[in-house]
Structure 1
Amino acid sequence: MPTISEKGKKMPASPIRKLVPYAEAAKKRGTHVIHLNIGQPDIKTPKVALDAIRNNTIEVLAYSMTEGSEEYRKKIANYYKKNDISVSHEEIIVTTGGSEALSFAMGTIMDPDDEIIIPEPFYANYNGFATASGVNVVPIVSTLENNFSLPPIAEFEKRITSKTKAILICNPGNPTGYLYTEEEIKQLAELVKKHNLFLVADEVYREFTYDGTEHYSILQLPDLEEHAIVVDSVSKRYSMCGARIGCLVSKNKTVMDTALKFAQARLSPPTFAQIASEAALDTPQEYFYDVIEEYVERRNILISELQKIDGVKVAVPKGAFYCVVELPVADADDFAQWILESFEMDGETVMVAPAAGFYATEGLGKNQIRIAYVLEKEQLIKAVHILSEALNTFPNK
């Protein structure tokens, strides 16, 4: 029998999706599953985006430009300008989701066995993108006790070697919801300039910041142009996860010229999804005011309810729509599977994402889960009550 690749064997399963078979089995048994595992917002997609598809009269669904349509990229550049980020459309490549932008970034700046430093816990698919590129993730632990703030710069310094090519952050963070301060961004900027590294920032949750805080982009630093690479996406911003449209942004011409070659290999991003995403940029700002207000209320209710459970610890997110929760169990993977297989309350159960998959360091996050608060407040309250009862019943503490 032919064998699969070593790379394939090392490819990690998604902690967000690996329990889907157990959730589907629960549904087939008649149990309603409340999904806290995945960041699929229930907020409605802007009507202007959907209408752009409904009312389109395209007769031939042709390829677009490899880098995305010029009109769309110019509108993206204008969007950034409104956010105090100065880039031209020529410094933007439209990608098939933020995932492809991350893959292009890694392929552009890193060779096999190179190293990328990432504060953990981090978006689980970073492990997958690194494995696919033959790149080694060098993690730096951030802790729930510090609300997952940026680890000391000295810890980054200790891990920089001749193979280090970049530092990667998610801001605001997935799975932590942590929002890096302007001072923290500037500290990282000084570090990458000192060691001649790239700073890659996944900024797909830019709009979602709370409690009077504001997002600060690495592209706002005028002296970081050769080092800064931003990954972005429409998925969360406009509740358009299924569109699979993102972009890669950098003022470093060599980076963009090289990334374009990777983009050419996949031909072009999807045409209809670009049309919808371009139209979405006309969404009025009031849309975001309403969405942010809703997420703040959901966050506050979720945190309040979780804090009522004995033995549970939770970080308070300042952005995005996730939080990391520490449970009074030895193995959150076992608990997450058990609650789908063996527990229900009034015909319902919950699906969570075990947090170990958001770490690169073996053994960390074993008693943690990530919760996405993308459901209505009543559903969140119900889900936490189910979690509480399940923790009281779970036999493998």
Structure 2
Amino acid sequence: MPSISHKGALMPESPIRKLVPYAENAKKNGTKVYHLNIGQPDIKTPQVALDAVKNNTIEVLSYARSEGSEEYRTKLSAYYQKNNIQVSPNNIIATTGGSEALLFTIGSITDPGDEIIIPEPFYANYNGFSTASGVKVVPVISKIEDNFALPKIEDLEKLISPKTKAILICNPGNPTGYLYSKEEIEKLKKIVLKHNLFLIADEVYREFAYDGHTHHSVMSEVGLEEHAIMIDSVSKRYSMCGARIGCIVSKNTEFINTAIKFAQARLSPPTYALLASEAALETPQSYFDDVIEEYVERRNTLISELEKIDGVKVANPKGAFYCVAELPVNDTDDFAQWILEKFNHQNETVMVAPASGFYSTAGEGKNQVRIAYVLNKKDLIRCVEILKIALEQYPN
């Protein structure tokens, strides 16, 4: 029998999706499953985006330009300029989701064996994208006790080697909800300039900043023009995860010209989704104001309820719609499977994402879970009730 690749064998499972078969079996057995495992908002997609697809007059569904239509990129650059990011359409490449933007970025700046430093816990697919590219993730651990703030810059700098090509952050963070301050971005700016590295910022949750805090983009930093690469997406901003439209943004011309070659190789992003994404840019600010107010209430509800459970420690997110909670168990992979496979309360259970998959350091996050507060407040209260009862009955 032919063998699979070493790279394929090393490809990690998704901590977000690997338990799906257990959830599906629970549903088949009549148990209602509350999904706290995945960042799929229940917020309605802006109607203007849906109407753009529904009411179009396209007769031939043709390829789009490899970098995305000029109309879309022009409107997108205008959106960024409103947010203090001065970029032109030529600084933007539309991609098939933020995932492809990350793959194109890693492919454009690294060779097999190169390294990227990432504060952990981090978005689980960074491990997968790096493995697919033959790149080594070098983690620097942030702590729940510090609310997952940027680790000491001295600790980060110690990890830089001749093979280091970039530092990658997610801001606001997935899975932590941590929002990097301007001061932290400036510390990262100083170190990438000193060591001539790229600074990649995954900013797909940029609209979701809470408690009077504001999001500060790496693209707003003067002096980072040749170093900053921003990853973005419509998935979370407009509750359009299924559209699969993201983008790469950078003022580094050589990098953009390289990334375009990757874009040409996959031909084009999806045409209908580009139409929807272009129309979504007309969404009024009131939409985001309402969404942010809703997420703040959900966050406050979730944190308040979790803190009532003995032995649970939870970070307080300032952005996105996730939090990391530390549970009084030794292995949340086992607990998350058990709660789907062998437990229910009144024919209901919950699905969470074990946090070990958001680390690349072996053994880290084994007693943590990521919870996405993408359900309404009533359901969140019920979810925590189920979680509390499950912890009381869990045999391990």
TM bucket, shorter chain: over 0.9
Map of 1:288 onto structure 2: 288
1:256 match: 256
**Pair 1:144 & 2:144 matched:** yes
Query: Does 2:160 correspond to 1:176?
Result: no
Corresponding residue number in structure 2 for 1:106: 106
1:165 aligned partner: 165
- Following the alignment from structure 1 to structure 2, what is the Cα–Cα distance between the partners of residues 379 and 2? 48
Within 2, Cα distance between the matches of 1:101 and 1:53? 23
The residue that corresponds to 1:43 in the other structure is 43
Once the two structures are TM-superposed, the CA of residue 156 in structure 1 deviates from its matched residue by 1.1
1:129-140 correspondence runs (5 A): 129-140=129-140
State how 1:195-344 maps to structure 2 within 5 Å. 195-344=195-344
2: CA distance, partners of 1:266 / 1:155: 39
CA-CA distance at 1:125 after TM superposition: 0.2
For 2:118, what is the secondary structure of its paired residue? strand
1:249 is displaced (CA, Å) by 0.4
Within the alignment, does 1:94 sit opposite 2:99 as a pair?
Answer: no
Q: How far off is 1:103 after superposition? A: 0.2
Q: What is the match of residue 15 of structure 1? A: 15
Find the aligned partners of 2:64 and 2:313 in 1 and give their Cα distance: 48
For residues 315-334 of structure 1, the C-alpha deviation after alignment (integer angstroms, 9 at most, x for no partner) is 00000000000000000000
Q: How far apart in 2 are the matches of 1:274 and 1:381?
A: 37
1:38 CA displacement: 0.1
Q: Which amino acid aligns with 1:31?
A: T
Q: Distance in 1 between matches of 2:183 and 2:279?
A: 35
* Residue 217 of structure 1, CA deviation: 0.2
1:64 alignment counterpart? 64
Structure 1 position 268, deviation (Å) = 0.3
Question: 3-state DSSP class of the match of 1:392?
Answer: helix
Instruction: Report the counterpart of residue 153 of structure 1 in structure 2.
Output: 153
Query: 1:198: how far off?
Result: 0.2
Q: What SS does structure 2 have at the residue aligned with 1:16?
A: coil
Runs of 4+ in 1 over 4 A off after TM superposition: none
1:52 equivalent in structure 2: 52
Residue 33 (str. 1) matches residue 33 (str. 2): yes
Kindly provide the amino acid, as one letter, of the partner of residue 98 in structure 2.
G
Instruction: Write the distance in 2 (CA, Å) between the matches of 1:381 and 1:146.
Output: 26
Question: Which residue identity is paired with 2:324?
Answer: V
Specify the alignment match of 2:374 in structure 1: 374
d(CA) in 1 for partners of 2:235, 2:263 = 19
Distance 2:185 2:9 in 1: 36
Counterpart code for 1:301:
T
Take 1:305 and 1:358, find their aligned partners in 2: how far apart are those partners? 24
Instruction: Work out whether 1:390 is the aligned partner of 2:396.
Output: no
Distance 2:90 2:2 in 1: 45
Residue identity matched to 1:343? F
CA deviation vs aligned residue, 1:345-394 (integer Å, no higher than 9, x gap)? 11100000000000000000000000000001101000000000000000
> Distance in 1 between the 2:17 and 2:151 partners?
29
Displacement of 1:222 in angstroms is: 1.6
SS of the aligned residue for 1:362 comes to: coil
Q: Which residue of 1 aligns with 2:186?
A: 186
1:88, CA displacement in angstroms? Answer: 0.2
Secondary structure at the counterpart of residue 350 of structure 1: strand
CA distance in 2, matches of 1:341, 1:85: 47
Distance in 1 (alpha carbons) for counterparts of 2:273 and 2:64: 11
User: Structure 1: how far apart are the matches of 2:94 and 2:218?
Assistant: 19
* Count of matched residue pairs: 396
Structure 1: distance between partners of 2:371 and 2:185: 26
Give per-residue Cα distances to partners, 1:101-122, cap 9 Å, x unaligned. Answer: 0000000000000000000000
TM-aligned CA deviation for residue 36 of structure 1: 0.2
- 1:345 and 2:348 aligned: no
TM-score, structure 2 as length reference: 1.00
- Mapped to 2, the partners of 1:355 and 1:88 lie a distance apart of 38
Q: Distance in 2 between matches of 1:3 and 1:384?
A: 45
Secondary structure of the corresponding residue to residue 51 of structure 1: helix
1:277 partner amino acid: S
Letter in 1 for 2:228: A
CA deviation string 1:155-214 (max 9, x = no partner)? 111000000000000000000000000000000001000000000000000000000000
Whichever residue aligns with residue 18 of structure 2, its letter is K
Question: In 2, distance between residues paired with 1:346 and 1:280?
Answer: 41
Q: Letter of the aligned partner of 1:17 in structure 2?
A: R
**1-structure distance, mates of 2:344, 2:203:** 37
Cα distance between partner residues in 2 of 1:107 and 1:156: 23
Q: For 1:242 and 1:49, locate their aligned partners in 2 and report how far apart those are by CA, in whole Å.
A: 12
Distance 1:125 1:300 in 2: 28
Counterpart of 2:8, as a letter, is G
- Partner SS state of residue 247, structure 1: strand
> Does the residue aligned with 2:158 lie in a helix, a strand or coil?
helix
Task: Spell out, residue by residue over 1:288-334, the C-alpha distance to the aligned partner (whole angstroms, 9 max, x if none).
Answer: 00000000000000000000000000000000000000000000000
Structure 1 unaligned runs (5+)?
none
Find the aligned partners of 1:28 and 1:280 in 2 and give their Cα distance.
37
In structure 1, how many angstroms separate the alpha carbons of the residues matched to 2:76 and 2:305?
Answer: 39
